[in-house]
Every structure is written in structure tokens, then in C-alpha cells.
Amino acid sequence: MTTAILDRLGARGRSVPAKYVPVLVTAGLFVAMFVVGGIRYEGFATGQVILNVFIDNAFLLVVAVGMTFVILTGGIDLSVGSVVALSTMISASLMAGPGWPPYLVVPLVLLIGSALGLVMGYIVHAFDIQPFIVTLAGMFLARGLCYTIGTDSIPIEDPTFTAFAQTRIDLFADLWISPSVVIAAVVVLVAAYVLHYTRLGRTVYATGGSEQSALLMGLRVGRTKVAVYTISGFCSALGGVLLSFYMLSGYGLHAVGMELDAIAAVVIGGTLLTGGSGFLLGTVLGVLVLGLIQTVLSFEGTLSSWWTKIFIGLLLFVFILLQRLFSARRRT
């Protein structure tokens, strides 16, 4: 029955390439959720509600961008949440203890995150080990390093850092965003350009589509694998900096489970877990869907926050099933 529905949709919209259908489904889901929320809750259907989703999830969006690169090659990165937490701990401890200025701390944090991603990518490529195992080890390593720095939450009180974190960028009609949203938007735009207009981006898609074919075409598959994990490490560290702005603290238990949220956002956004197909726009929409679920629950007020996980789980089942069905139709 589901296959028949998909066939009907394809027959009605032959002008829409199949690769765009998952993104359109995610966009339709987001619009439907927003419309239903606007009908059910007073004050829901406003521009600031959407902007608040971006404000509250800017760090997740940046992390999900890095995860998109990895998944497009057919890999996975389970270390991102721990790297985010490590970034908050390094930032907070250096500014609270030695009193380092933010303009030295932030580049150092980004360098450490990129280095961790580089090492994991090199191990995946050089020793031909499954990314799941390598990044799982990276997850434990980064989380363990958090607790070697400290087991308690470390507040960030640097005046420059806190002033930037509390800055409000006014737009129009009483709408506003935070600087973190601007940073996240720049990351998305740069990443989209890299994926669609550079040799690295084309190789990322080719590697995920068929690694053997990419090798036969003479593409630098190994270098690309190392590059995407380095990008993921950089995005995780930057996400940690943005989370530091959001929380104004460093804590070893920050971002527990964020790797799963990032994977969920990428998959709900239409990127195939097997790699080779997907768009950053879909990832942005996936993050928006996850954020809107949390917003709906907060407006409802009577449901536990655990319902967020339940709804995300149900959405993942649906989108994985849709991916399977679309893949089967492409083969036929």
C-alpha cells in the first residue's frame, strides 16, 4: 500500500527528481507541525517561535552539519557529543583558571576538536576499521578527558565572553536572534558551498555512493574520509563553543546523547544512512523538526520531556522506512 502511494506521488510529480523527495517530505512535516501548533496553541504561529528554535538549537545545527559530511560518505561519528562537552570544559577551565582571553581559547578549542577528528579519520582510513568502533572509542576518550579536567560544572564569567553570549541582534517587528544563529547560518552556507561546488564535495558524494567506483575513477577516497571526520571534529568543537555561549558553563555531562540527536536530524532531513544522497537543507529542516517537537511539548505543558524522545524515535522509524522504499524503487 505504501509503495502504491509513493508510485502515485511519483506519477503526479515527475518533474521533481527523486533525490529531492525526502527533503520535500521533511519540509511538509515541518509546515504541518507549525500549522497544527498555530491552530492548537495561542501565540504559537509567530516568527519568533521559529527563530527561538534556531536560537535554542544553533549548536546542534552546527554539529549536525559535520555529521552530514560523515554520513554522506557512508560513515558515522559517535564522538560528537563528547567533543562538544570537552570543548565546553576546556573553554570554561582556561578562562576561569589561568584567565585566558576568549580570542585565544576559542581557536585552541577548534584546533583540538579538529585534531581529534583528524586522528579518528586517519585510523578509519589507514587501518580500515569500522567508523562505529573508532568513533565509539573517541566518544569515551573525549568524555573521559572531561572528567580529568573536573567533575563539577565550571561557570564562565569572562566579561567579553558573557557579553557576546548575551548579545541580542534585533531584526524587524520585534524579532531577534542571537550571534550563535548567525554563526550557525554561516557554517551551513559554507558547508553547502563545499558540498555542491568543490571537488571535495563531489568526492564525498561519490564515496558514499560507491567507494569502489570512486577509487576506480581515481578519486582521493582516503583523503576525503580523513577530511570529513576532521570537519566533523571542527563542527563539534564549534558546537561546544556555541553551547558554552548558551549555557555559560562547562560541564562533563553537557551534550549527553547529542550524537544521537545529530544523527536523527540528518536522517529525518533525508540523508541516506548508507551515504551518497542527501542535502544540508534537509539537515537544517531536520534540526527544525526536532526543535519544533520540543516547542510543542513546552506549549502543551502537560507532557514529560521524555515524549520528545518518543516522537523522535517514531519519526526515525518512518523516515528509515521511507529511505528503504525509495532505495527499492530506484533499483527497480
Residue 281 falls inside a structural domain: yes
Is residue 8 situated within a structural domain? Answer: no
> Would residue 325 be called left, alpha or beta, if left means φ above 0 and alpha means ψ between -120 and 50 degrees?
alpha
For residue 191, the domain's CATH number is: 1.10.3470
- Angle between helices 179-197 and 199-209 in degrees, nearest 10: 70
Q: Quick check: 216 and 206 in contact, CB under 8 A?
A: no
Smallest CA-to-CA distance from 114 within 278, 248, 11, 237 is with 237
Question: Which of 293, 59, 48, 310 minimizes the C-alpha distance to 179?
Answer: 59
Is the residue at 7 inside a domain?
no
Q: Could you list the residue range(s) of the whole structural domain that residue 177 is in?
A: 20-327
Please report whether residue 254 resides in a domain.
Answer: yes
Residuewise pLDDT in 10s, the chain (332 residues)? 444 444 554 555 456 677 788 888 899 989 998 998 898 888 888 889 999 999 999 999 999 999 999 999 999 999 999 999 999 999 999 998 788 999 999 999 999 999 999 999 999 999 999 999 999 999 999 999 999 999 899 999 999 999 999 999 999 888 999 999 999 999 999 999 999 999 999 999 999 988 899 998 989 999 999 999 999 999 999 999 999 999 999 999 999 989 999 999 999 998 988 888 889 999 999 999 999 988 888 888 776 677 778 888 888 888 888 777 766 665 55
For 253-292, how does the pLDDT look when each residue is reduced to its tens digit (9 = 90+)? 999 989 999 999 999 998 988 888 889 999 999 999 999 9
- Residue 12's CB: how many other CB atoms inside 10 A? 9
> Does 274 fall in a domain?
yes
pLDDT of the residue at 5: 44
| Cα–chain center distance at 287 | 7
Pair 154, 95: CB distance under 8 Å:
no
> Does residue 184 form part of some domain?
yes
13 lies in some domain = no
**Does residue 56 sit within a domain?**
yes
pLDDT tens per residue, range 112-146: 999 999 999 999 999 999 999 999 999 999 999 99
pTM for the model stands at: 0.91
Count of domains observed in the chain = 1
